[in-house]
Structure 1
Amino acid sequence: MKEALVDVSVLILFFNRPEPLEQVFAQVQKARPARLFLYQDGPRSEKDMPGILACRDVVSQIDWECEVHQLYQERNYGCDPSEFISQKWAFSHTDKCVVLEDDDVPAVSFFSFCKEMLDRYENDERITMVSGFNVEEQTSDIMEDYFFTTNFSIWGWASWRRVVDQWDEHYTWMDDPQTVAQIRTVIKERGYRNDFIPMCTRHRTQGKAFYETIFWAHLLMSNGLCIVPRRNMINNLGATPGSTHFGGSLETLPHGYRRIFTMKRYELGGPVQHPAHIMEHVAYRKRAYKIMGWMNPMIKIGRSFEELFLNLRHGNFRFIMQSLNKRILKWMGKKAYK
């Protein structure tokens, strides 16, 4: 049995897709972390069982000394609240942890990078999380190996129990008009997506924990910073028809979004070079929001027309009709996007 190489905890979330999970776990095998937390949602029906069992076989290939924890659900909870459940479970057993979903393929050095960041900033409450995904692929206007931003990605991340313990799963902050008003001001000032408050309202009404808005709300209310590597360290395989949040195909994605799913990932080239000061890289945040089309209606409109053209060219008429129906319902106030 080989020795562990990185003294870090890693949570892996998966369901019934062994193919992308194999790519993720191949990188985990190379990194050999000291602790694994394996979370799997339960089957929706018997049809899910072959994929579920195949995934369990993938993550059983542990050939190094490793402390393994498993939480395999017997019933299906869905993506939400499964993500929240799994993260609260893992962080109840470890004070800092890396989190990967079954389509987040990390660089091997992502684990040692997270280990160093988690140890270095463990008691610095200004820092909320470590992210492995850089939406620019490479950020050219800094010399160090990472920087700080109020924008973050959940495609491969790490954090501390001190952060997760403060998550407000019941959105009780929404009962305080002053807090809501302040968050609206911060969103406007930063140019963040303007549907965040309505999204939190919908999630609260549904009565289940959506960890993404819970995490975002905590970041906003704590004025937290995220560590992002200068060069991207994560590939996301989620732009496939079988994924939870995506219904199209990579070939019909607008170019601006397609590059996000096809960019390179990089390994660290040597010892981590640290920034001299803890300050937000404001220019990166503004560029990232532009790339995502947040608060940039002309970019969103242009990408919508590009997506329509690409789907027409590929004959995806059913997808076009479904998308049009969703937009009409949204305009009528009868449907809201998550």
Structure 2
Amino acid sequence: MNTPITLIIFKRPQTTEKVFQLIRQAQPKQLFVIADGPRHDRADEAEKCQATREIIERVDWDCEVIKNYSDVNLGCAVRVSSGLDWVFSHVEQTIILEDDCIPHPSFFRFCEELLEKYQNDTRIASISAQNIQPQHKQTNYSYYFSRYSHCWGWATWRRAWQHYDLYMKLWKQVQAENLLNDILIDPKAVSYWQRKLQTIYDNPTGITWDYQWTFACWMQGSLSITPKVNLVSNVGVGADSTHFASNQEFSFINVPTQAMEFPLQHPPYIVRNVEADIFTQKTVYQAKIIDVFKEKVKKRWDYSKLKK
């Protein structure tokens, strides 16, 4: 591969090994590795961090490995954002994977081709691996355009990342001018994102980094590319997970992946798929969606008993 790959790691050697083996198959010429340091109050975390970093030492193909390892724990928000700032000080574009995101092998070619195609098109900010609605037909082409930038396996350019702001300094102006209403239209979506973004603004370094990325994309009026099939499976469940300590009743953990077909069938237009975005908003982000999902499961279970 000519496209650099960026791998973000921390303390999970088991999942990192799985991602590493897929990167090894892709054989990028450049591999950037971002690693956070152990927390001083976790007894075994230093050993886990070291074991995870040792996996990177097993690169056995022609590859320049460039590391950015922190000796101290910066936390997810600061470590990922500062790490990507560092990557884009070296390269114009990259494919990005975290240590619990297992991509389908076709994901790499999918990203590489689209990074080239849309390299200079500022309407597009990122390319995602995740499709949370493969059971619904969203497009006749290989991908569609969305306002949501899923980051479980993705790719982007320096030209897009330059707008990222961990601290969301534009947030107060967005509130004053009610810009979320113009972006999201739907009052329920506006209400959800108003609360979420305010929480992030109040504590930008304490939660995560990716909501700030979504915000940055919205501020530029840019779109993300979503594949018509799911190209990544997040296996980050368990005690070592930052965000998913257990199998939640409603999450998109461990969703199976499918192969992308080539040659890619490109849409002849750049228009947001509103129907798909409505589904994503209601399914992934909408408030109380877990209760809605439980009710659907209950009804489906009751119906199955009646059939018997």
TM-score normalised by L of structure 1? 0.80
Higher helix proportion (structure 1 or 2):
1
One of 7, 10, 15 as aligned partner of 2:5:
10
> AA paired with 2:290?
K
The answer as to 2:81 corresponding to 1:91 is no
Aligned to 2:154: 157
- Contact 2:171–2:201 (8 Å) recurs in 1: no
CA gap of 1:159–1:191, structure 2 versus 1, over 3 A, is farther
CA gap of 1:244–1:180, structure 2 versus 1, over 3 A, is farther
Q: CA RMSD in A?
A: 2.3
One of 34, 46, 49 as aligned partner of 1:49:
46
Q: CA deviation at 1:279?
A: 1.1
Q: Show CA shifts across 1:183-236 (max 9, x none).
A: 244234385363433433333333638421221111222221110111110000
Aligned to 2:18: 23
The answer as to 2:299 corresponding to 1:301 is no
Greater relative contact order (Cα < 8 A, sep 6+):
2
Q: CA deviation at 1:180?
A: 4.7
- Contact 1:133–1:232 (8 Å) recurs in 2: yes
Aligned to 1:317: none
Distance in structure 2 (CA, Å) of the matches to 1:104 and 1:212: 15
Q: CA deviation at 1:287?
A: 1.7
Alignment of 1:135-284 (within 5 A): 135-176=132-173, 180-189=177-186, 192=189, 194-206=191-203, 208=205, 210-248=208-246, 250=247, 253-254=248-249, 256-257=250-251, 260-284=252-276
Q: CA deviation at 1:305?
A: 7.8
CA gap of 1:177–1:77, structure 2 versus 1, over 3 A, is closer
One of 66, 89, 95 as aligned partner of 1:69:
66
CA gap of 1:294–1:178, structure 2 versus 1, over 3 A, is closer
> AA paired with 2:219?
M
- Contact 1:95–1:161 (8 Å) recurs in 2: yes
Distance in structure 2 (CA, Å) of the matches to 1:178 and 1:207: 17
CA gap of 1:305–1:190, structure 2 versus 1, over 3 A, is closer
% identical equivalent positions: 27
Q: CA deviation at 1:47?
A: 2.1
> AA paired with 2:268?
A
CA gap of 1:279–1:177, structure 2 versus 1, over 3 A, is closer
- Contact 1:14–1:102 (8 Å) recurs in 2: yes
Distance in structure 2 (CA, Å) of the matches to 1:141 and 1:154: 19
Distance in structure 2 (CA, Å) of the matches to 1:171 and 1:268: 35
Give the stretch that moved more between structures: 46-55 or 180-189: 180-189
